[in-house]
């Protein structure tokens, strides 16, 4: 689960990390009022979306007065912000974070990351953070400094000092930096974070360190032990289709094509969409029915596709394994079609466990389907149907 800036900062602040004084606003007037309550010489007005790259995309504006804050918020709220990380459709901005702009002395990049190659948590840092960090780190990965986090989170003072020194956090800033690292590791560990990124971390002239921007990703699998995130988790999927799917144990990503795709398992789903697109088709979605989903839950996922007016045909590709068997999916299709006024044609390919049983269900319930034995043939046919073939 991705947390936008303001939530990440709230959590970090609870762990004692210094963040600029700020507040969330959902309208321009509210932004102005928020600004009046903050004492500072310059304000930053920052679009709150679930993706980074805002600075370069015009999602962060500076203002000298509360009324200028209102003007900036007026521009930002309601706009679709397209950044390197949102995809071409962008994301609509429904709120802004108003905060005291920090007159940075220096900008550092620092992050807590799960390093899958080593199977450990690591701290990463770079002496130059800010909006251009990603590009410069890609060009020169050697600029990244790292420090492995021991299992008990108990970093040695010498190791931390060396790491900070390599980042150029020295002198008066060194003790503040060491304290920040302890807080960062504790926050990440206790919230089951997969990523905590502070960029930039400002080093002020008196040595204080301030998290000017922060992002967090919380492990969805660990949400059961974090009731404090329940509200955020419920609101997290931004798209109503993705929300329905999430509630029904289906992984679902909306795409802009005309072929609905029903597949069990992420790998088979990716493979099916690859073949569909290679053959000139346009999937309306990526779907992965989780092994724990029931036929009723799967039916709700398929219902989402039937509601989508762009979907002209449905490709079903299921391989019954030890957990999801083919007849469960056939039952789900039947339930979804019996509830829907739209009944687009189905190209049905079932293999593995209970495949023939599934086929019998499809026939007995008189669903509008054509059976196929191999994926390539099914893909070809569903593309033709979506283009209007009889």
Q: Which of 23, 75, 144, 179 binds other proteins (CB under 8 A)?
A: 144
Query: According to CB under 8 A, which one of 29, 37, 64, 120 is a site residue for other proteins?
Result: 120
Q: Out of 17, 47, 60, 121, which residue is the one contacting other proteins (CB under 8 A)? A: 121
Select the residue interacting with other proteins from 323, 339, 342, 387 (CB under 8 A).
323
Instruction: State both tokens at 295.
Output: 């036929």
Segment lying near other proteins (by CB under 8 A), choices 39-47, 73-81, 270-278, 304-312:
270-278
Site string for other proteins, 66-85 (x = CB under 8 A): -------------------x
Name the residue nearer to other proteins (CB basis): 141 or 309. 141
Nearer to other proteins, 69 or 236 (CB): 236
CB atoms within 10 A of CB 142: 7
Is 111 a binder of other proteins (CB under 8 A)? yes
Q: Which is nearer to other proteins, 171 or 227 (CB)?
A: 227
The 7-46 site mask, x for binding other proteins (CB under 8 A), equals ----------------------------------------
> Beta strands of 299-387 (E only): which ranges?
313-320, 346-352, 369-371
Measured from the CB atom, the residue of 5 and 32 that comes closer to other proteins is: 5
Q: At what angle do helices 326-339 and 295-307 cross, to 10 degrees?
A: 50
Please report whether residue 197 would count as binding other proteins according to CB under 8 A.
Answer: yes
Q: Would you count residue 375 as binding other proteins (CB under 8 A)?
A: yes
330 binds other proteins (CB under 8 A): no
Does 228 bind other proteins (CB under 8 A)? Our answer is no
Cβ proximity of 80 and 91 under 8 Å: yes
Q: Per rule CB under 8 A, is residue 278 in the interface with other proteins?
A: yes
Binder of other proteins out of 23, 310, 351, 359 (CB under 8 A):
351
Nearer to other proteins, 15 or 124 (CB): 124
* Cβ–Cβ under 8 Å, residues 346 and 313: yes
Q: Does 295 bind other proteins (CB under 8 A)?
A: no
The answer to whether residue 263 forms part of the interface with other proteins (CB under 8 A) is: yes
Is there a contact between 338 and 376 (Cβ–Cβ < 8 Å)? no
Cβ(233)–Cβ(223) below 8 Å: yes
Question: Using the rule CB under 8 A, which residue among 79, 82, 222, 359 binds other proteins?
Answer: 222
- Rank residues 270 and 389 by Cβ distance to other proteins and give the closer one: 270
Residue by residue, DSSP assigns 174-224 as: HHHHHHHHHHHHHHHHHTTEEEEEEEEEEE-TTS-EEESSEEEEE-GGGGG
47-66: contacts with other proteins (CB under 8 A): 50-53
277 lies in the site for other proteins, by CB under 8 A: yes
d(CA 36, CA 70): 11
Read off the DSSP letter of residue 85.
T
Expressed in angstroms, the distance from the first to the final Cα of the chain is: 43
Asked if omega into 323 is within 30° of 0 (cis), the reply is no
* List 6, 43, 97, 133, residue binding other proteins (CB under 8 A): 133
Q: Is 211 in the site for other proteins (CB under 8 A)?
A: no
Q: Show contacts with other proteins in window 300-319 (CB under 8 A).
A: 319
- Whether the CB-CB separation of 325 and 353 falls below 8 Å is answered with yes
Answer whether 267's CB lies under 8 Å from 289's CB: no
- Give the 3-state secondary structure of residue 231: helix
- CA nearest to 31, candidates 90, 75, 91: 75
- Binding of other proteins by 230 (CB under 8 A): no
- What DSSP element (H or E) covers 135? helix 133-139
């Amino acid at each position: 689960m991705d947390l936008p800036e303001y939530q990440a900062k709230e959590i970090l602040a609870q762990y004692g990390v210094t963040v600029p004084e700020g507040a969330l606003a959902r309208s321009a007037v509210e932004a102005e009022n928020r600004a009046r309550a903050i004492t500072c010489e310059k304000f930053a007005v920052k679009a709150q979306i679930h993706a980074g790259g805002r600075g370069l995309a015009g999602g962060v504006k500076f203002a000298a007065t509360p009324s200028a804050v209102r003007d900036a918020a007026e521009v930002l709220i309601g706009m679709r912000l397209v950044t390197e990380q949102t995809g071409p459709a962008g994301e609509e901005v429904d709120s802004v974070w108003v905060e005291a702009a920090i007159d940075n002395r220096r900008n550092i990049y620092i992050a807590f990351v799960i390093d899958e190659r080593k199977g450990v948590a690591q701290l990463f840092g770079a002496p130059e953070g800010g909006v251009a960090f990603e590009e410069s780190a890609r060009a020169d990965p050697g600029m990244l400094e790292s420090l492995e986090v021991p299992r008990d989170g108990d970093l040695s003072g010498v190791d931390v000092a060396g790491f900070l020194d390599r980042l150029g956090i020295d002198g008066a800033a060194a003790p503040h930096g060491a304290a920040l690292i302890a807080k960062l590791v504790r926050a990440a560990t206790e919230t089951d974070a997969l990523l905590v990124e502070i960029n930039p971390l400002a080093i002020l002239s008196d040595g204080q360190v301030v998290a000017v921007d922060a992002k967090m990703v919380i492990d969805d699998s660990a949400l059961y032990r974090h009731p404090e995130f329940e509200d955020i988790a419920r609101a997290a999927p931004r798209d109503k289709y993705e929300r329905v799917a999430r509630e029904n144990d289906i992984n679902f990503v909306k795409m802009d094509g005309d072929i609905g795709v029903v597949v069990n398992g992420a790998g088979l789903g990716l493979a099916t969409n690859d073949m569909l697109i290679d053959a000139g088709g346009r999937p309306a979605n990526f779907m992965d029915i989780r092994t724990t989903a029931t036929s009723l839950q799967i039916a709700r996922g398929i219902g989402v596709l039937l509601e989508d007016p762009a979907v002209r045909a449905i490709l079903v590709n299921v391989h019954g394994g030890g957990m999801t068997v083919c007849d469960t999916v056939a039952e789900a299709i039947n339930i979804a079609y019996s509830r829907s006024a739209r009944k687009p044609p189905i190209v049905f390919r079932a293999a593995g466990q209970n495949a023939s049983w599934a086929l019998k269900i499809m026939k007995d319930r008189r669903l509008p389907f054509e059976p196929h034995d191999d994926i390539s043939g099914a893909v070809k046919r569903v593309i033709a149907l979506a283009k209007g073939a009889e």
